[in-house]
Amino acid sequence: MIQKRRKKESEKQEIKEKQQKAKVIEEKSKENLNKTKKNSKQQAERIIKNGIKVQELRPGTGKIAEVGKYVTIYYVAYMKTGQILEEFDRFENLGFRFKLGAGFVIKGLDIAVIGMKIDEKRRLIIPPNMAYGDEGYGLKVPPNTTVVYDVELKKVE
């Protein structure tokens, strides 16, 4: 009887040790997965001039957007909260046309579109100093707000 009890206790201890090892392995796996996600995010997101973050969502082909050229883009602009500020998108078949580098749009958008190819899609995370700054934009954008743009280049002239 004592022998059976010791055997059961030994088995319980063995099971407990295996569970602890499994837990450690699971935690290490989660840690490695998080590192992998972080690394892939870092590769997908790059920082260009003045803290503007660019994520390449889809590559493009053809003409490249250059300073001085007229470009037509589809875009959705929103705050980090998800509140949409403005959109010119394909669903209404509208595009927004402007001369690149001429200051017709916020600085961050002007800079981040340079180098895009036709049909390329990017997500731009534009800090306040490259967006609407200390003043904001009317009632739409509060002062010192980071703005996000999903931009697709449609035309270069």
Q: Are residues 36 and 51 in the same domain?
A: no
Q: Are residues 65 and 119 in the same domain?
A: yes
Question: At residue 72, does pLDDT exceed 70?
Answer: yes
Q: Are residues 95 and 108 in the same domain?
A: yes
Mean pLDDT to the nearest integer, 38-43: 47
Q: Are residues 37 and 53 in the same domain?
A: no
pLDDT band at 22 (very low <50, low <70, confident <90, very high): low
> Among 3-7, 65-69, 115-119, which stretch is predicted with the lowest mean pLDDT?
3-7
Q: Are residues 76 and 32 in the same domain?
A: no
Question: At residue 29, does pLDDT exceed 50?
Answer: no
pLDDT band at 143 (very low <50, low <70, confident <90, very high): very high
Q: Are residues 103 and 134 in the same domain?
A: yes
**What percent of the chain clears pLDDT 90, i.e. is strictly above it?**
56
Instruction: Considering only CA atoms, give the Rg of the chain.
Output: 26
**What percent of the chain clears pLDDT 70, i.e. is strictly above it?**
76
Q: Are residues 64 and 99 in the same domain?
A: yes
> The domain that contains 103 carries what CATH number?
3.10.50.40
Q: Are residues 75 and 109 in the same domain?
A: yes
Note the pLDDT of residue 40: 45
Question: At residue 83, does pLDDT exceed 80?
Answer: yes
The total domain count for the chain is 2
pTM > 0.75: yes or no: no
Q: Are residues 34 and 50 in the same domain?
A: no
Q: Are residues 16 and 62 in the same domain?
A: no
Note the pLDDT of residue 44: 73
The SS3 of residue 104 is coil
Note the pLDDT of residue 98: 96
Q: How many angstroms separate the CA atoms of 86 and 133, rounded?
A: 17
Note the pLDDT of residue 17: 74
Question: At residue 70, does pLDDT exceed 50?
Answer: yes
Tell the burial category of 42 from Cβ atoms under 10 Å away from its Cβ (0-12, 13-18, 19+). Answer: exposed
Q: Are residues 124 and 90 in the same domain?
A: yes
Tell the burial category of 101 from Cβ atoms under 10 Å away from its Cβ (0-12, 13-18, 19+). Answer: middle
Note the pLDDT of residue 23: 63
pLDDT band at 35 (very low <50, low <70, confident <90, very high): very low
User: What range does the domain containing 140 cover?
Assistant: 46-156
Tokens of 103: 């200051």
Q: Are residues 22 and 62 in the same domain?
A: no
DSSP track, 29-59: HHHHHHHHHHHHHHHHEEE-GGG-EEEEEE-
